[in-house]
Amino acid sequence: MGGEAYATLKNSIAHVESGAYTDIRGDTIGPSSNPDKVIVMVLRLDARPYRRTDTFTEVTVPAALLKAHKTKQGTWALIHVLEGRLVYKIVEPGCPSSNEVLTPTTPPGVVEPAVLHEVMPLGPVRFYVEFYRLDEAG
């Protein structure tokens, strides 16, 4: 996967790049010579999908997604890019910022509950957002 890895963390899955293991709260998860390089966003294993947006393009993306916004507490999201490139930026005050370029060949961008973030198309793009919450039975 070109220097990328997946780590399983206490009932969670996180996408990380090799070398840095820092979660959104700034906690070190594993060894790194540069812990500020990558922020690990976590999607809990017991979270289940419950809604999906339409597919957006650089023309149809809602303006609200282009500026800082957040999901509700208890709601995670995955940003899936089907074509093109999309910047996914974490802008939560008090947390390290992150700028990730999502493409069809990268894992989806993981949005944790109530974390301020925004997206920005880099030219023509097609993407959708899939929302998750905890399994009601668990």
Q: What is the set of domains in the chain, with CATH numbers?
A: 4-134 (2.60.120.10)
- Tens of pLDDT, residue by residue over 84-93, are 999 999 998 8
- Tens of pLDDT, residue by residue over 125-134, are 999 999 999 8
Mean pLDDT over each residue of the chain, to the nearest integer: 76
Distance (Å, whole) CA 9 – CA 13: 6
pLDDT at 40: 61
Comparing CA positions, the residue from 6, 31, 4, 32 lying closest to residue 18 is 4
